[in-house]
C-alpha cells in the first residue's frame, strides 16, 4: 500500500492513537469484570470502532478486518444481545494484545503473525456463533470494484424524482444534484409545479417540486444512484433506462439498491499483498522514537516565561547607557527578577519532559489480572497518585523494576485464598501501587497485605551463605533488606512468574543506577511495603559540592546519608591498609577521594577532613573530602557525548563560574572500592 | 594569527582537486588538518582534570555549554612537553559523524597558515614520519618548499579516545 | 477566504487526515473532538459545512446534527456524517436527525473532496 508522505505522517498519529485506544480498551475490559454498565462497554466499542475506521482509511486492511470482528462482538455486548462473559473478555483482551502486535508490525513494515490472527479470529467467530465466512471491510482501493459490478449501460436514463418536502431543509439542493447529473451526460429536466400551494399556505422552506429528467449517454447506473443516494429515502424515485423501459425500478422508501449480496463485495482478502514471512523479529514500534506529547498548558507556561524574560532583559539593557548610582537598586531588582524568571523557565522546560506515572501504572491492571488467574489467587489492585509526574526517561526505566516488584508481591507476598481464610484474613488480597512527590523526589510504594517476609528464614539463609556474620545482630529492617543482596531468593521454589535469575538485587541496581533508593519493610502475617525513592529527572540533580585539594566534585544529595566530622578514636586500620570508621554500631570503609581520583588533598588523614556517608546497593561507605561547599541543583552533562564514560564519574556539570565540575558516580565508587582491596565494604542492610 | 573565521573566508580553491588545510606547529614540525573539521581556535585556558585518564587527556572545558575534552598533542605524540606560552592554542575540531560526532580540543604550540593543497602535491606517508605514528598521517605535502604532515584527524582522535578506554580499564 | 468547515471526530488521526485534505483544497477548517465541543463552538460561530463522525464520547454525531439543526444559524447548513458501510441504519438515523448526507468510511482524500464539493 503506497501512501504519500503526508499521509504517512498522519498514519503515525494513527499508530499512536491506536495504541492509546488499545489501552482504553484494555483497562475498560479489565473493569468490565466487576461492573458491566452500558457506558463502559460503549467506551470500549468506540475505541475499537476508531481503530477500525482509521486502519481502513490508512489502508491497513488486515488490521481493519480483524478489528471488525472485535467491534462486532463489542457492539452486540453493548446492545445487550451478547452476554458479557469472562471468556469473551479474555478473548477480547487477547485480541487487544494481537492488535497491538499487528499495529507494531504494520508500523515497522514487518509481516503479521497470521497464525495468531487466524486463531483469535476463530475464537471471536466462535463467540459470535458465526461460520468462519468473511466479509472483509473494504479499503479505499476497493472502491473501483463496485464499478466493475456495474449494471447494464443504456443509451440513457429517465428519472422521475419527487423528493420529500424536507429536501431543502436538509440542504440537499436539487440544483447541485442536477449539476452533477449534467456532468454525467446530456441532461433535460422538466419541473412539475402542480403541487405548489397558494401563497398563503406556502412554507418557503419546503420543497413542492418534482422533476422528470432525461439524461443521455453511456452512464453506469451506480453513478446515478450515487447522486440520489442521500435523498432516496421517503421520496419517489423511478429510474428507467431509455430504450429498455421494461427495466423500471421503483423505490418507495425501500432499501437502496447497493445492498446486493456479493455484487459489491470488495476484492478478496487474498489479494492483499503480503511480504513473505521474514525471519527478522518485529521491531519495536517507533512510537518510542523519543518524541513526546506535551500538554498545551505546559508549553503556554514556557511561552509566558520567555515573554517575561524578554521584558526583564530589555529593562536591564536600558541601563547600558550608563548607570546612575541611584538606579543601582533597580538594577539589582531587575537582576533578581531575571534570576527568578530563568529558574522558572528551567523548571517549565523540565516539565515538558515530565509525564504522569499512570503511563507506567496502566500496565498493572492487566498484569495483575492475568497473573492472579494463573496463580489462582484473588487480588484487588489499588492505584493511587497516578497523576504524579516524573521524567520520561526515569519513567521508562522504572517500569520494568516495578513490574518485577508487583509480580513478586503477587507471587510470593500474597497467600492463596485458602491460606488467607485460614489466617482469618479476607479471601481477596490487596496490592497497592502508589506514587507521590516528596521533597523534589518521587516516592513509589508497592504495598501488599500478604504474609510478609519470613525474617527467621531470611536470616538463616544469609548466615548460611556467609552474607551476615554468625555473631552479628541485625534489626528487623536490616533483615528484610537482605533480600536485595545478590543471589538471594526467598522463594522455596523458583516459579515461572517471578522469573529465574532476575533477582531483587537487579531491581535494586537498576534503581540505584537511576540515582534512586529502594527499601522494604514488612510485618509477618500483615504484608510488605517496598518504597522506592527516585529523582524526578535525570537531567538535573540536587548536588552537594565537595572540595578535595583544589578540585571540586559533586555528590548527589540523594546518595548522602549524613556528613560527619571524624574523631581519631573512631578510625581503625584493617590489615594495615584499609581504614574503617565506626558509625554507631557499624564499621564503614573510608574511601579517600584523593586516592581514588589522584588529587593532592589538604590532608590525607581522615580526622582532618569530613566523611560524607553515602549509600548505594545497600552498602555504605564514608567518602573523605577536605571540605563541604554549597548545595545546589546542577544540570547533568554527559561526558560520553564528546569523550567517553569514566569510571567513578557519572557526568559533569557547569558551575556558576563557567568551570566544569565532575559528578561522582556513587554506586560505581562503592563497587570499585569493594573491589580494590577494601573487602571490608560490609553488607549493609537498610 | 589566523582564526577559523578568516580561514573559512579564504579563497576556497584554486581548482577542484585542492583542499584547504589549517596548519599548526608542534615541536618544529608543521601539521595540517582539514579545515572543514575545524570548529574554532581558542586560547589555552584552565581545564577540569578527569581522573583515570591517560596523561595526554588534560581535562574538560565548558565550550558554550558543552563539555569538551582537551588533548595535549605533544603528549599524544610522545614529544617533549613544554610550558604553555602566549602562542599556545586549542584547535577545536569535530570528528566522527552522525551519532558518533565528537567535539574535541587539541593543544598545539601555535597556529600557522591556511593552505590550499592540491592532491597532486601530496604523497603517501613513508614508514617513518618524524615522531608521529604514521597511522595518523593521511599524506605528506610540499608547499613553498616546506613539508606539511596532513593528519587523519578522525583516526587520531578516535584512537586517542579508544586508547583511553584501554588505559582507563587498566587503571581501574 | 475559503469556505469554513467544522470537522468533528474523536480520533486525532482522522481529524488530521480531514484537516490536511480540506486545507490542501483551500477550505478553512475548524476542528472539534466531540459533539459537546462542536455544539459549544457552533453556538457562537457560523460555518458553511459540518462534517461529523458518528461514534464519539460525550455526544455522538447524530445527536450533534439534531442539536445543530435546532440552532438558528445552522438551519440551512449542510451536514455530512462519517459512517461505516455496515451502518445503513445510521445513515437513516442521520437523515432523520437532519443530516444532508454521509461519507462512507473508509474514504480517501479525493473521495472526501468530491463529497464535500457536492454540497458546497
Per-residue pLDDT at A450 exceeds 70: yes
Chain A: residues touching C (Cβ < 8 Å): 6-7, 10-11, 13-14, 17, 43, 45-46, 49-50, 52-54, 56-58, 64, 137-140, 143, 168-173, 176, 180, 229-230, 233, 255-256, 259
Identify whether the C-beta of residue B63 lies closer than 8 Å to the C-beta of residue B130.
no
Angle value at C-alpha A39, between C92 and C69, nearest 5 degrees: 35
Identify whether the C-beta of residue C97 lies closer than 8 Å to the C-beta of residue C63.
yes
For cell 471488525, the residue is: A68
Question: Are the Cβ atoms of A58 and C78 closer than 8 angstroms?
Answer: no
Counting every residue written for chain A, the total comes to: 686
Identify whether the C-beta of residue A489 lies closer than 8 Å to the C-beta of residue A482.
no
Q: What sign has the CA pseudo-torsion B42, B46, B52, B53? A: positive
The single-letter DSSP state of residue B79 is: P
Nearest Cα neighbor of A261 from A133, A121, A129, A118 is A133
- What residues have CB less than 8 Å from B131, skipping those under 6 apart? B27, B29, B77, B78, B79
C12-24 vs C109-119: helix axis angle to the nearest 10? 70
Per-residue pLDDT at A114 exceeds 60: yes
Q: Return the pLDDT at A463.
A: 84
Q: Structurally, what CATH architecture does the domain formed by A540-675 represent?
A: Beta Barrel (2.40)
- Is this model's pTM higher than 0.80 or not? no
> What mean pLDDT is predicted for residues B33-42?
93
Per-residue pLDDT at A434 exceeds 90: yes
Identify whether the C-beta of residue A612 lies closer than 8 Å to the C-beta of residue B66.
no
Q: Is residue B99 part of a domain?
A: yes
How many Cβ atoms from other residues are within 10 Å of residue C13's Cβ?
Answer: 25
- Which of the residue ranges A187-196, A221-230, A318-327, B80-89 would you say has the lowest mean pLDDT? A318-327
Identify whether the C-beta of residue A511 lies closer than 8 Å to the C-beta of residue A518.
yes
B vs A contact (3+ beta-carbon pairs below 8 A): yes
Peptide bond into C106 cis (omega under 30): yes
Per-residue pLDDT at A639 exceeds 50: yes
Rounded Cα distance between A66 and A120, Å, is 9
Question: Are the Cβ atoms of C76 and A171 closer than 8 angstroms?
Answer: yes
Q: Which residue has the higher pLDDT, A191 or C41?
A: C41
Contacts C109 to A, Cβ<8 Å: 7
Identify whether the C-beta of residue A511 lies closer than 8 Å to the C-beta of residue A443.
no
C vs B contact (3+ beta-carbon pairs below 8 A): no
Rounded Cα distance between A491 and A496, Å, is 12
- Superfamily of domain A5-143 in CATH is HPT domain (1.20.120.160)
Q: What sign has the CA pseudo-torsion A560, A565, A571, A573? A: positive
Q: What are phi and psi of A369, to 5 degrees?
A: -60, -50
Q: How confident is the model at residue A270 (pLDDT cuts 50, 70, 90)?
A: very low
Q: Which residue has the higher pLDDT, A239 or C1?
A: A239
- Positions of E strands within A229-335: 236-241, 244-252
For cell 511495603, the residue is: A529
Average pLDDT, chain A: 78
ipTM of the complex: 0.84
Q: Which residue has the higher pLDDT, A308 or B7?
A: A308
Mutant choice from C25, C106, C112 vs A, greatest count of A C-beta within 10 A = C106
Rounded Cα distance between A208 and A218, Å, is 31
CA B102 to chain centre: 13
Contacts A73 to C, Cβ<8 Å: none
pLDDT tens per residue across span C60-102? 899 999 999 888 888 889 999 988 766 677 778 888 888 888 8
Query: Residue B164: helix, strand or coil by DSSP?
Result: helix
Output the nine-digit C-alpha cell for A18: 491506536
Radius of gyration of chain B (CA): 16
- What residues have CB less than 8 Å from A535, skipping those under 6 apart? A391, A394, A440, A441, A442, A514, A515, A516, A541, A542, A556, A558
Per-residue pLDDT at A526 exceeds 60: yes
Q: Return the pLDDT at B133.
A: 72
Residue A643: which of B46, B69, B172 has the nearest Cβ?
Answer: B69
- Which of the residue ranges A4-18, A443-457, A638-652 would you say has the lowest mean pLDDT? A4-18
- CATH of segment(s) A356-535: 3.30.565.10
Alpha-carbon dihedral angle through residues A6, A10, A11, A12, given to the nearest 10 degrees: 110
Q: Return the pLDDT at A294.
A: 78
Question: Are the Cβ atoms of A58 and C98 closer than 8 angstroms?
Answer: no
A178: part of which helix (H) or strand (E)? helix A174-184
- Which of the residue ranges A185-199, A430-444, B38-52 would you say has the lowest mean pLDDT? A185-199
Q: Is residue B172 part of a domain?
A: no
Q: Structurally, what CATH architecture does the domain formed by A150-257 represent?
A: 2-Layer Sandwich (3.30)
The single-letter DSSP state of residue B132 is: B
Do the strands A610-616 and A586-592 form a parallel or antiparallel pair, or are they unpaired?
A: unpaired
Rounded Cα distance between A612 and A666, Å, is 11
Rounded Cα distance between B25 and B108, Å, is 7
- For B101, which residue in chain A has the nearest alpha carbon? A642
Output the nine-digit C-alpha cell for A151: 449494471
Contacts A58 to C, Cβ<8 Å: 13, 17
pLDDT tens per residue across span A324-381? 777 778 788 888 888 888 888 877 888 888 889 998 998 899 889 988 988 889 999 9
Q: Is residue B57 part of a domain?
A: yes
Share of chain A above pLDDT 90, in %: 16
| Number of alpha helices (DSSP H) and beta strands (DSSP E) in chain A | 19, 23
Q: Return the pLDDT at B41.
A: 94
Q: Return the pLDDT at B61.
A: 95
Share of chain C above pLDDT 70, in %: 97
> What mean pLDDT is predicted for residues A90-118?
88
| CATH code (residue B129) | 2.40.50.180
Domain boundaries, chain A: 5-143, 150-257, 297-352, 356-535, 540-675
Question: Are the Cβ atoms of C13 and A229 closer than 8 angstroms?
Answer: no
Contacts C25 to A, Cβ<8 Å: none
> What mean pLDDT is predicted for residues B43-67?
91
How many Cβ atoms from other residues are within 10 Å of residue B41's Cβ?
Answer: 22
Domain limits at B36? 4-167
pLDDT tens per residue across span B127-163? 765 566 777 888 899 888 888 999 999 988 888 887 6
Question: Are the Cβ atoms of C106 and A49 closer than 8 angstroms?
Answer: no
| Domains of chain C (ranges, CATH numbers) | 4-119 (3.40.50.2300)
- For A259, which residue in chain C has the nearest alpha carbon? C88
Query: Residue A310: helix, strand or coil by DSSP?
Result: helix
Rounded Cα distance between A388 and A431, Å, is 19
Mutant choice from B52, B157, B158 vs A, greatest count of A C-beta within 10 A = B52
Q: Is residue B112 part of a domain?
A: yes
> What mean pLDDT is predicted for residues B1-29?
65
Q: Return the pLDDT at B92.
A: 96
Q: How confident is the model at residue A16 (pLDDT cuts 50, 70, 90)?
A: confident
Q: How confident is the model at residue A544 (pLDDT cuts 50, 70, 90)?
A: very high
Rounded Cα distance between A384 and B162, Å, is 48
Question: Are the Cβ atoms of A647 and B52 closer than 8 angstroms?
Answer: yes
Nearest Cα neighbor of A117 from A139, A98, A90 is A98
pLDDT tens per residue across span A579-607? 888 888 788 888 989 888 988 888 777 67
The strands making up B66-72's β-sheet, listed across from edge to edge, are B38-43, B89-95, B102-108, B66-72, B57-63
Q: Is residue B13 part of a domain?
A: yes
Nearest Cα neighbor of A637 from A663, A659, A657 is A663
C12-24 vs A38-57: helix axis angle to the nearest 10? 40
Q: Does C3 touch chain A (CB under 8 A)?
A: no
Output the nine-digit C-alpha cell for A104: 507494531
The single-letter DSSP state of residue A130 is: -
| CB pairs A-B closer than 8 Å | 72
Number of domains in chain B: 1
For cell 573566508, the residue is: B9
Nearest Cα neighbor of A547 from A648, A633, A629 is A629
Q: Is residue B115 part of a domain?
A: yes
Mutant choice from A43, A50, A173 vs C, greatest count of C C-beta within 10 A = A50
Q: Return the pLDDT at A130.
A: 55
Rounded Cα distance between A665 and A485, Å, is 20
Q: Return the pLDDT at A314.
A: 72
Per-residue pLDDT at A109 exceeds 60: yes
Measured CA to CA in angstroms, residue C15 lies from A10, C6, C48, C117 at distances of: 9, 11, 18, 19
Distance from CA of B103 to the nearest CA of A (A): 6
Amino acid at each position: 500500500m503506497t501512501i504519500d508522505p503526508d499521509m504517512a505522517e498522519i498514519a503515525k498519529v494513527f499508530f499512536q492513537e491506536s495504541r492509546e485506544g488499545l489501552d482504553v480498551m484494555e483497562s475498560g475490559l479489565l473493569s468490565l469484570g466487576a461492573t458491566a454498565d452500558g457506558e463502559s462497554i460503549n467506551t470500549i466499542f468506540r475505541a475499537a470502532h476508531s481503530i477500525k475506521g482509521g486502519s481502513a482509511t490508512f489502508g491497513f486492511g488486515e488490521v481493519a478486518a480483524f478489528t471488525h470482528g472485535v467491534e462486532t462482538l463489542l457492539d452486540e455486548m453493548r446492545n445487550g444481545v451478547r452476554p458479557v462473559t469472562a471468556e469473551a473478555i479474555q478473548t477480547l483482551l487477547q485480541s487487544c494484545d494481537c492488535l497491538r502486535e499487528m499495529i507494531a508490525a504494520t508500523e515497522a513494515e514487518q509481516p503479521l503473525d497470521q497464525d495468531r490472527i487466524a486463531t483469535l479470529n476463530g475464537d471471536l467467530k466462535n463467540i459470535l456463533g458465526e461460520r468462519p465466512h468473511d466479509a472483509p471491510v473494504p479499503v479505499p482501493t476497493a472502491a473501483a470494484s463496485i464499478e466493475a459490478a456495474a449494471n447494464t449501460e443504456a443509451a440513457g436514463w429517465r428519472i422521475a424524482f419527487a423528493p420529500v418536502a424536507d429536501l431543502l431543509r436538509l440542504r440537499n439542493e436539487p440544483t447541485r444534484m442536477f449539476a452533477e447529473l449534467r456532468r454525467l451526460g446530456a441532461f433535460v429536466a422538466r419541473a412539475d409545479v402542480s403541487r405548489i400551494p397558494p401563497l398563503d399556505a406556502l412554507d418557503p422552506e419546503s420543497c413542492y417540486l418534482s422533476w422528470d429528467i432525461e439524461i443521455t449517454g453511456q452512464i453506469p447506473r451506480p453513478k446515478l444512484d450515487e447522486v440520489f443516494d442521500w435523498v432516496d429515502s421517503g421520496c419517489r424515485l423511478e429510474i428507467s433506462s431509455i430504450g429498455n423501459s421494461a427495466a423500471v425500478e421503483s423505490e418507495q422508501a425501500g432499501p437502496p439498491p447497493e445492498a446486493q449480496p456479493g455484487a459489491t463485495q470488495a476484492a478478496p482478502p487474498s489479494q492483499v499483498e503480503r511480504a513473505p514471512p521474514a525471519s527478522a523479529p518485529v521491531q519495536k514500534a517507533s512510537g518510542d522514537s523519543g518524541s513526546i506529547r506535551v500538554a498545551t498548558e505546559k508549553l503556554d507556561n514556557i511561552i509566558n516565561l520567555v515573554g517575561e524574560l524578554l521584558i526583564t532583559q530589555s529593562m536591564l539593557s536600558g541601563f547600558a547607557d550608563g548607570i546612575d548610582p541611584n538606579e543601582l537598586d533597580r538594577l539589582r531588582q531587575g537582576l533578581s527578577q531575571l534570576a527568578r524568571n530563568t529558574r522558572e523557565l528551567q523548571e517549565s522546560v523540565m516539565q515538558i519532559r515530565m509525564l504522569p506515572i499512570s503511563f507506567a501504572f496502566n500496565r498493572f491492571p492487566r498484569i495483575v489480572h492475568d497473573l492472579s488467574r494463573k496463580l489462582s489467587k484473588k487480588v484487588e489492585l489499588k492505584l493511587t497518585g497516578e497523576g504524579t509526574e516524573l521524567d520520561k526517561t526515569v519513567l521508562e526505566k522504572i517500569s520494568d523494576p516495578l513490574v518485577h516488584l508487583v509480580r513478586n508481591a503477587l507471587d510470593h507476598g500474597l497467600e492463596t485464598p485458602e491460606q488467607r481464610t485460614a489466617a482469618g484474613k479476607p479471601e481477596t488480597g490487596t496490592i497497592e501501587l502508589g506514587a507521590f512527590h516528596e521533597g523534589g523526589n518521587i516516592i513509589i510504594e508497592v504495598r501488599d497485605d500478604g504474609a510478609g517476609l519470613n525474617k527467621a528464614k531470611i536470616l538463616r539463609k544469609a548466615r548460611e551463605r556467609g552474607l551476615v556474620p554468625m555473631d552479628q545482630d541485625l534489626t528487623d529492617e536490616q533483615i528484610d533488606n537482605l533480600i536485595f543482596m545478590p543471589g538471594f531468593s526467598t522463594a522455596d521454589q523458583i516459579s515461572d512468574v517471578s522469573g529465574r535469575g532476575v533477582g531483587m538485587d537487579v531491581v535494586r541496581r537498576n534503581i540505584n543506577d537511576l540515582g534512586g533508593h529502594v527499601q522494604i519493610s514488612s510485618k509477618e502475617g500483615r504484608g510488605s511495603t517496598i518504597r522506592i525513592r527516585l529523582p524526578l529527572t535525570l537531567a538535573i540533580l540536587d548536588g552537594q559540592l565537595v572540595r578535595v585539594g583544589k578540585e571540586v566534585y559533586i555528590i548527589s544529595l540523594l546518595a548522602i546519608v549524613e556528613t560527619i566530622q571524624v574523631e581519631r578514636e573512631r578510625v581503625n586500620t584493617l590489615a594495615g591498609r584499609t581504614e574503617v570508621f565506626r558509625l554507631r554500631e557499624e564499621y564503614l570503609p573510608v574511601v579517600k577521594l584523593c586516592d581514588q581520583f589522584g588529587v593532592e588533598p589538604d590532608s590525607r588523614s581522615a580526622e582532618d577532613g569530613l566523611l560524607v556517608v553515602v549509600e548505594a546497593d545497600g552498602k555504605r561507605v564514608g567518602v573523605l573530602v577536605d571540605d563541604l561547599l554549597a548545595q545546589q541543583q546542577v544540570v547533568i552533562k554527559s561526558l560520553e557525548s564528546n569523550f567517553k564514560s569514566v569510571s567513578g564519574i557519572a557526568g559533569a556539570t557547569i558551575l556558576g563560574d563557567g568551570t566544569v565540575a565532575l559528578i561522582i558516580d556513587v554506586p560505581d565508587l562503592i563497587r570499585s572500592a569493594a573491589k580494590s582491596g577494601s573487602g571490608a565494604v560490609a553488607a549493609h542492610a537498610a | 594569527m589566523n582564526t577559523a573565521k578568516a580561514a573559512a573566508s579564504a579563497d576556497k580553491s584554486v581548482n577542484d582537486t585542492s583542499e584547504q588545510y589549517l596548519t599548526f606547529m608542534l615541536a618544529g614540525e608543521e601539521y595540517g588538518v582539514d579545515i572543514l573539521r575545524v570548529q574554532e581556535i581558542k586560547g589555552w585556558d584552565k581545564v577540569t582534570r578527569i581522573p583515570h585518564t591517560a596523561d595526554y587527556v588534560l581535562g574538560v572545558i565548558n565550550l558554550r555549554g558543552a563539555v569538551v575534552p582537551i588533548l595535549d598533542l605533544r603528549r599524544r605524540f610522545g614529544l617533549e612537553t613544554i610550558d604553555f606560552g602566549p602562542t599556545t592554542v586549542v584547535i577545536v575540531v569535530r570528528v566522527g559523524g552522525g551519532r558518533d560526532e565528537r567535539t574535541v580540543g587539541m593543544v598545539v604550540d601555535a597556529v600557522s597558515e591556511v593552505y590550499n593543497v592540491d592532491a597532486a602535491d601530496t604523497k603517501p606517508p613513508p614508514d617513518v614520519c618524524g615522531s608521529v605514528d604514521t597511522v595518523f598521517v593521511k599524506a605528506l605535502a610540499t608547499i613553498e618548499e616546506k613539508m606539511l604532515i596532513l593528519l587523519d584527524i578522525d583516526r587520531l582522535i578516535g584512537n586517542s579516545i579508544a586508547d583511553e578506554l584501554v588505559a582507563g580499564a587498566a587503571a581501574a | 477566504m475559503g469556505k469554513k468547515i467544522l470537522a468533528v471526530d474523536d480520533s486525532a488521526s482522522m481529524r488530521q487526515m480531514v484537516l490536511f485534505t480540506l486545507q490542501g483544497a483551500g477550505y478553512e477548517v475548524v476542528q472539534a473532538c466531540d459533539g459537546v465541543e462542536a455544539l459549544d463552538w457552533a453556538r457562537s460561530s457560523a460555518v458553511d459545512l459540518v462534517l461529523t463522525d458518528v461514534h464519539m464520547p460525550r455526544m455522538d454525531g447524530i445527536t450533534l446534527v439534531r442539536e445543530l439543526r435546532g440552532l438558528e444559524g445552522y438551519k440551512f447548513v449542510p451536514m455530512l456524517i462519517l459512517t461505516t458501510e455496515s451502518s445503513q441504519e445510521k445513515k437513516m438515523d442521520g437523515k432523520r436527525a437532519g443530516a444532508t448526507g454521509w461519507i462512507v468510511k473508509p474514504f480517501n482524500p479525493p473521495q472526501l473532496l468530491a463529497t464535500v464539493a457536492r454540497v458546497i
